[in-house]
Structure 1
Amino acid sequence: MTNYVGKSVKRIDAYEKVTGKAVYATDVATQAKNAVYMHALTSPYAHAKIKKLDLSKAEKAPGVVGIITGDEPGANWELFPKDAVLAQNNEVIWAGQIIALVAAETLEQAKDAIELIDIEYEVLPHVLTYWDAIKADTPSVIDPMFGKRNTASDRPMDEVKNRKSPNVVGSFKLDTGNVDEAMKTADVIIERDFYTGKKTASQLETPLAVCEYDPCGKLTIRSNGMGIHGVVKMGLSKMIGVPENKLRVLAPVSGGSFGARLACIMEVLVAMMARKVKRTVVYRLTREQQFTTAPSNWPVITKVKLGAKKDGTIVALDFYVGEEIGAAINNTYFTGRMAASGANPVYNWGEARIDAEAVTTNTVPAAEYRGLGVPESEFALENAISELADKLGMSQVEIRQKNFIKRDERDCVGEVVTSTGISKCLDAVANSIKVDEPSVQDGTVWKRGKGIAAGGKQNTPLGRAEVKINFNSDGTVTLLLSSDENGMGATTALKQMAAELLKMDIDNIEVLARDTDATPYDNYGASSRTTYTTGNAVKAAALDLVKNLREAVGREIGVHPMNIEIEGTKAIIKGYQKKEIEIASLFRPVNFFEQGNYGMMKGTPVVGYGVYCPAPVLQWGEDGRCDRQWNWYQFAATAVEVAVNEETGQVKVLKYACAADTGNPINPKLVEGQIEGGVMMAIGFAVTEDHYYDNNGKIWNANLGDYRIPTILDVPKADDTYSHICPDSLPDGPWGAKGMAESITIAPGPAIAEAIYQAVGVRVDSYPMTAEKVLKLIKEKKAKEAGK
């Protein structure tokens, strides 16, 4: 078999994982030699001055080898504000912020030494919500000394337009120009506010990093982070001043990411300590610290005003997005633009005005998380469209199909949407759940309803990917790459692409991955970019290898390369008496007694090299519009049937159908896995997950007992789930493929919200849609009806 693209090839890491032989970062930490272990002193307050910090007793404690604080010399914080990592200037700005790190011979000794640190606080007022943070008289969350420049976008914070509070630290605006006039022509207007709470990625393996130190000063880091080249190595070199040739980064098997591992914090801290104590350092966050110290996503406040004609044609959108980004200013402009972009690719709004702001609060800093704000913003938009359909007496499918952007049409930003399978996705899930047919009720307190929603998300046109392919002298092939593998099966899909182009048995290809001393550059695997960006680099490398093999074989046998074809391990000679030649037979042993050796020599592979860089963003106009804002868009739709207990408010998702536009899928089974996992995560987003705070501003549900991620008992049975692939080929994707994992999390939430409305007649306007919220709305509805 040599046709692999489009086939459900078995994952190349499946055996190691199911047999327990896969080496995770946890295993690396357990097996570390001559290691010391770090533990952190973290703030119990959301905002406080540190009046006293005495480390003397801790420094003398048994087993302690080193302590670092925010005053540690040698750090150049170019990529992250200092406050995102260690407390600065004797001030803490969120509960869980690291104040000091102790390294000791054992973890228990490090914990004991933390108890010996003498610290006194002066508790200061804190702000935990958007509504408090945007008040004009609210003190600045971020020290003004940090606040002159947004490090991610290099956009001066003082240029934020119409800043109403010192905590508004980033903004984005888009205006097509005629929203107010278009809104006047609307027959129906929907105007509502929405809120989505703060969530933690909750990977089963908590953040962990190991840094080895050798006597020559080289640091070797293994972590469950992301982006070994583009994030960790390049970031560390700048931040702690270590030359790139003194840094090696390797990625063990990852215990989950969902984007949240992109923040290069654990790696910075172990590297700083290893350089200080000249030992191998292990640092792992506790489960509680995963919630209180590691970055999480951001709550989003949205205000929607949507106008439409009687026939369902949308004529205008006025949309505000406010993000609570926690206690850091990194990425503020960029993330606001990303969240607001949820309004871009799916619908033709007629005229559109979008206003996004990033607002700091005394909570855990925000970072990348699956969907990067788009599921939150589209929760509002999809709910508004569902309500619009109900007001107009139209079906939920009809109103969406009427307003979808078609392939090669421009969105409200002005960018051409070159691939969209959203129409097919919507029809597929509608048919599976039969959303136009009312739910059958069973006469109990559990009332059933159905809902449907659609969604789309952009891909970020940043960075590049490089891939190298070696054709070895024994006829085997080695594929060298550095793209992240966080459990999604990307490495399998990339190997399939190489095998397809080389016309080679896939088992003849070995993958060497994620070692900065051996594998070529790749930025990172966030924004669903691996299939597209690294896939195109694999394609370029394979074509380059075929070209180089034709030339090498031609030189050896005296035939022009144009008369040679490469098929797996063989060279096919056209018009030559020997039709097929095993390429390995042409590699000659090295003769040590010849003065010059040339040609194909044993031990020296023929190499193919590929680089892919997406086209850059074009300059933005003053109105926020441009011809190229993103690479491409991914789309998905979901339909659900739920049951709502009208006496308790409890919501159960009974059935779901989800369809994804992946472009042409490289491995359909991997896509199905992403769909199933994404829907489960989205159910958690929508129904159960949130942060709750005590009076000191500390998260009190920072554990997997009180922070409720869905379990197998909370989701539909396998027989009641439907996964569909509805491809629309991406013109510049490898084999027409594109990423899809983030779009899956967009539509389930608003589909559940509409299903709740169909079941019990109440509209929930915030995540999570808990039993308490739903029951309150049911009681209010009954009281209003009784008042009539």
Structure 2
Amino acid sequence: MNSTFKSPHAHVQKLTGETRFVEDISLPGQLAGGILRSPHAHARIVNIDTTKALEIEGVHAVLTAADVPRLAYGPTKYKDWNIFAESEVLFIGDEVAAVAADSKELVQAALQMIDVHYEGLPAVFDAEEALSPESPLLYPQTEQNRPMHLQLERGDVETAKKDAEIVRGGRYVINPIYQGHLEPIAALASWSEEEGITLWAGSHIPYRARETYAAAFGLPEDRVRIIVPPIGGSFGAKYVLKMHIIAAALSMEAKRPVKMVFDRKEDMISAHPRVPLKMDVEIGATADGKFVYKDVVVYANAGARIYWSPNIVATACTRPDGIYHFNNVRAEGNLCYTNNSPTTCMRGFGNAEMLFAVESIIDEIADSLKIDPAELRRMNIVHQNERTAHGYQLDSCKLEECIDTVKKMANWQRRDSLPKNRGLGLALGNHVSGFRGIDPRFDGSTAVLRLKATGDIEVETGEIDLGQGLSQTYAKIAARELGISDQAIIVKSGDTARHPFGIGTLASRSTVMGGNAVQLAAAEFKRKLSAFMKELYGTEGKWDERFIVVGETAHSFKEIATLFRMKNAGEELLVRSTYVPNTELPDHTYYGNPSPNYPFAAHVAEVEVDPDTGRVKLLGYWAAHDSGTILNEVGAISQVNGAVAQGIGWVTMEELKLEEGRVMNPSIMDYRMPGAADIPDIQVSFIEGEDPHGPFGAKSVGEVALDPVPGAIANAIAHAIGKRGYSLPFTPEKVWTLLHTEESK
């Protein structure tokens, strides 16, 4: 039931509907589960009465905070999670109770019979307001509702401000958006005294999830097993989830398997969206366009508990400084508790958000100085072999080539002669290929290669394929190292009891971290198998697809597997290799070299704005990427296309509408995401060149492909209408208002 790739059958299974996601898996005696959620943003729980729910025939478990362990736990260092709300609920959707019953209908009937008496409390929904002494304190131990306060400075910003001859900036606002994964959140949990908890769940960090879930119940980690079936998308939503824990708690109580599957409404009202940010950003430059400082203050809305929002704040405050030489930088990050649903990461991970502001300001400086925006960027960008302000070592960097290439692709020189209400906007992006700070204890990956009795070569990894094509890429890496076809490679992952430990799929780490491990294991596998052939036949032979040729005889891998088992007490030929990068854990000032390598991109968007309605139409999009060696071209192009489409939705239409903590548009009908008619022709070019730290020279592509999109579209809109927006998304209403007001700021 775990994720398996065997080229090309996995893709065929998805196309024909044969792929088994969590919802498609059932166990004998399984029950349905459901959660009772708070209707209040902030309230005291006076009393809970579950008597009537327990009396319903077919109901096997009803749980509240009184029935489960009350241990401090959480996926980060901020241990503010509970299994159920205890004395207070902190957001609309907070988990108050749960039911396991014979059917979904009985679950809903039982949930309705649980009587909860609430006493309303004052609430706060805005991050900046949460810092006020007048706002309710959600966690008594957390001063000012601020669990994280980041402050850093490189150089001397105040002195640099005196040298700046032009200063531009403003307040930029990032909207909460839903990840929009095709497969809603789901879990199947089974408890036994012998095995502990077994959980089938879509998590792309299953080992970190195992650690968190074990802590919730006070269990050792080896009493929690997580099996990851194929995942129908995530984009950051499916890391570590309370729903998984509650399904496990119900199974422990009922002594039977429990399956929980959210419908789209529950998925959205309990969603943990992209972290909303308010960013006060200012950049200063000399009259000839050289940047002299960047100054940033960020207010981030964590919601009612901490998921991965601290990482978003740290990234927003630092990572864009890996593109430009600002020379002096200062950042303050305020992560604040509010009575909203907890927020988490989404593709781009804080970097795309801040680049929306940075790239917008750079265009404003270019306009004021009458310098071509592309040229202004070229004057200030980083280059190969440099070390950035925060310590990133750029052993490869083709950012200048990206700018040149995307200008040619988009025919940039026509920018000043476009028809009225049409605009071209350019923006740059960067990212990481893994990040040392994600887990300070370990930063690497392990791969196992084994020769199966069938003659197939199996790759096992702890990294997770969530639909991005990771397994196909690993098959190609192993095949390339072995000199055979990827048709002979099976890739398996997604079982904490069977496969190697892995940090998981986040921070764009999979291709480089896991890929390096696969390449190392494949090289060792070939050495070991060649030595075995020499032992048998006096020569290593020549590898040819599914055979090793010795003289005139071709020995199939299946035949060799049988011979190896015969001579090794039935054991398979197996190797295990671990890749540990020479990265640096950032220090308390966020200085260090946290990634093996760093990808870059330059994007250009072309838009047309309807002055009567404010509607923004994308006419064209061009993307030039430095992602090192491209291992899987179809997959890489698809990643860029998908990221651009996702960015178009984010920038022009998508937003979870919240009113006092309540999601007002919890359906795909009301929450509009882009369709085929909203996506223009997207042209992609890769500036190839080997990076010394990636498998065959590769760098990541999945997140850097989104990072420039908000800035490129925002700059194109500003170029088209002569006014600049500062708050995403640029809906028709917002753009129309912008067109009809005197001051865009």
* Percent of pairs with identical residues: 26
* Superposition deviation, residue 210 in structure 1: 0.6
Residue 532 of structure 2 corresponds to residue 599 of structure 1: no
Residue of structure 2 aligned with 1:44, choices 39, 42, 57: 39
Q: Are positions 1:707 and 2:671 aligned together?
A: yes
Are the counterparts in 2 of residues 174 and 413 from structure 1 also a CA contact under 8 Å?
no
Q: Is the 8 A contact 2:509 2:700 kept in 1?
A: yes
Question: Residues 308-457 of structure 1: matches in 2 within 5 Å?
Answer: 308-331=285-308, 333-438=310-415, 447-457=421-431
Residue of structure 2 in register with 1:306 after alignment: 283
Q: Which residue of 1 aligns with 2:655?
A: 690
- Amino acid in the other structure paired with 1:66: A
Q: Is the 8 A contact 2:596 2:694 kept in 1?
A: no
Change (3 A) 1:753 1:36: same
Task: Give yes or no for contact 1:454–1:747 (8 Å, CA) kept in 2.
Answer: yes
Specify which of 643, 646, 658 is matched with residue 681 of structure 1: 646
252, 257, 260: which is aligned to 2:229? 252
Tell me what 2:600 maps to: 635
Change in 2 beyond 3 A, CA 1:585/1:783: closer
Letter in 1 for 2:164: A
1:626 is the counterpart of 2:591:
yes
Structure 1 position 327, deviation (Å):
1.0
TM-score normalised over the length of structure 1: 0.88
What displacement does 1:384 show? 0.5
Q: For the residues of structure 2 that align with 1:495 and 1:64, how far apart are their CA atoms?
A: 46
Q: Are the aligned partners of 2:189 and 2:248 in contact in 1 as well (CA < 8 Å)?
A: yes
Structure 1 position 664, deviation (Å)? 0.7
Corresponding position of 2:731: 770
Does the 8 Å CA contact 2:448/2:461 hold for their aligned counterparts? yes
Q: Hey, what's the Cα distance between the residues in 2 that align with 1:361 and 1:498?
A: 47
1:165-244 aligned within 5 A: 166-214=144-192, 216-228=194-206, 230-244=207-221
Letter in 2 for 1:666: L
Structure 1 32/348 Cα, relative in aligned 2: closer, same or farther at 3 Å?
A: same
CA, structure 1 residues 269+408, in 2 after alignment: closer, same or farther (shift >3 Å)?
same
Amino acid of the residue matched to residue 322 of structure 1? Y
Name structure 2 gaps, 5 residues minimum: 1-5
Contact map agreement 1:42 1:97 (CA 8 A) in 2:
yes
Q: What is the match of residue 658 of structure 1?
A: 623
- In the TM superposition, residue 332 of structure 1 has moved relative to its aligned partner by 5.2
CA contact (8 A) 1:82 1:88 kept: no
TM-score by length of 2: 0.92
1:355 CA drift (Å): 1.8
1:540 corresponds, among 499, 520, 526, to: 520
Tell me the amino acid that sits aligned with residue 620 of structure 2.
K
Residue 484 of structure 2 corresponds to 504
Mapped to 1, the partners of 2:487 and 2:128 lie a distance apart of 57
CA distance in 2, matches of 1:49, 1:366: 22
Q: Is the 8 A contact 1:552 1:600 kept in 2?
A: no
Shift of 1:370: 0.8
Q: Is the 8 A contact 1:502 1:542 kept in 2?
A: yes
How big is the shift at 1:566?
5.7
1:473 deviates by 5.0
- Work out whether residues 316 and 352 of structure 1, in 8 Å CA contact, stay in contact via their aligned partners in 2: yes
CA RMSD of aligned residues (A): 2.6
Correspondence for 1:21: 18
Q: What's 1:477 paired with?
A: 457
What is the alpha-carbon distance in structure 2 between the residues aligned to residue 565 and residue 132 of structure 1? 70
User: Which stretches in structure 1 are left out of the alignment for 5+ residues?
Assistant: 1-8, 148-164, 591-596
Q: Return the match for 2:111 from 107, 111, 114.
A: 114
Summarize the alignment of residues 543-558 of structure 1 with structure 2, pairs less than 5 Å apart: 543-557=523-537
Task: Provide, for residues 608-628 of structure 1, a one-character-per-residue CA deviation record: whole Å limited to 9, x for no partner.
Answer: 21112333534626xx25342
Partner residue of 1:733?
Answer: 694
Counterpart position of 1:4: none
C-alpha change, 1:485 and 1:12, in structure 2 (3 Å) is: farther
- Is 1:542–1:609's contact at 8 Å kept on the other side of the alignment? no
The Cα of 1:245 is off from its aligned counterpart by 4.3
Question: What's the CA shift for 1:409?
Answer: 0.9
Q: What secondary structure sits across from 2:662 in the alignment?
A: coil
Change (3 A) 1:403 1:649: same
Distance, in Å, in 2 between the alignment partners of 1:332 and 1:17 is 33
- Aligned-residue offset at 1:564: 6.6
Contact 2:320 2:354 in 1 (8 A): yes
Which residue identity does 1:599 align to in structure 2?
K
Please tell me whether the aligned partners of residues 309 and 343 of structure 2 are also in contact (alpha carbons under 8 angstroms): no
Q: Which residue of 2 aligns with 1:125?
A: 122
Alignment of 1:558-597 (within 5 A): 585=559
Distance 1:505 1:34, change over 3 A: same
8 Å Cα contact 2:309/2:345 also seen in 1: no
Q: Displacement, 1:11?
A: 5.3
Where does residue 460 of structure 1 map in the other structure? 435
Distance across 1 between alignment mates of 2:410 and 2:324: 23
Q: Is the contact between residue 613 and residue 732 of structure 2 (CA under 8 Å) also seen in structure 1?
A: yes
Deviates more, 1:498-507 or 1:527-536: 498-507
* 2:578 alignment partner, one of 611, 620, 630: 611
C-alpha distance in 1 between matches for 2:22 and 2:289: 53
Q: Shift of the alpha carbon at 1:84?
A: 4.5
For residues 557 and 83 of structure 2, the distance between their equivalents in structure 1, rounded to whole angstroms, comes to: 56
The one-letter code of the counterpart of 1:617 is E
Q: Which amino acid aligns with 2:340?
A: T
| 2:73–2:81 Cα contact (<8 Å) kept | no
Deviation at 1:536, TM superposition (A): 0.7
Q: Which moved more, 1:65-74 or 1:112-121?
A: 65-74
**Paired amino acid for 2:510:** T
Distance 1:11 1:401, change over 3 A: farther
CA offset digits 1:508-548 (Å, max 9, x no partner): 22233322333222221111111011101101111121222
2:400 is paired with a residue whose SS is helix
Give the conservation status (yes or no) of the 8 Å contact 2:721–2:739: yes
- Larger CA deviation: 250-259 vs 231-240: 231-240
**Gap change, CA 1:714 and 1:376, over 3 Å in 2:** same
Amino acid at match of 2:626: D
Matched residues in 2 for 1:62 and 1:634: separation? 58
The whole-number CA distance in structure 2 between the counterparts of 1:497 and 1:88 is 47
Shift of 1:598: 7.3
Q: Does 1:60 align with 2:55?
A: yes
In 2: Cα distance, 1:241 partner to 1:211 partner: 17
Q: Residue type of the partner of 2:422?
A: R
Aligned pair in 2 of structure 1 residues 371, 783: CA closer, same or farther (>3 Å)? closer
1:217-276 CA-to-partner distances (Å, cap 9, x unmatched) read 443321122223x22333333332344444332221111111211123332121111111
The one-character-per-residue Cα deviations of 1:350-402 (angstroms, maximum 9, x if unpaired) are: 21112222111111112221111111111111111010111110111111111
Shift of 1:418: 2.2
Q: CA deviation at 1:139?
A: 2.0
Maintained 8 Å contact 2:85/2:94 = no
CA distance in structure 2 between the aligned counterparts of 1:107 and 1:473, rounded to whole angstroms = 44
Superposition deviation, residue 642 in structure 1: 1.0
Q: In 2 relative to 1, CA 584–746 (structure 1 residues): closer, same or farther, beyond 3 Å?
A: closer
Separation (CA, whole Å) in 2 of partners of 1:650 and 1:585: 64
Kept in 1, the 8 Å contact 2:80–2:306? The answer is: no
The residue matched to 1:349 in structure 2 has which SS?
coil
Work out whether residues 220 and 249 of structure 1, in 8 Å CA contact, stay in contact via their aligned partners in 2.
Answer: yes
The aligned runs of 1:719-730 (5 Å cut-off) are 720-730=681-691
Residue of structure 2 in register with 1:672 after alignment? 637
After TM superposition, the structure 1 stretch with the greater mean CA deviation from structure 2, 76-85 or 536-545, is 76-85
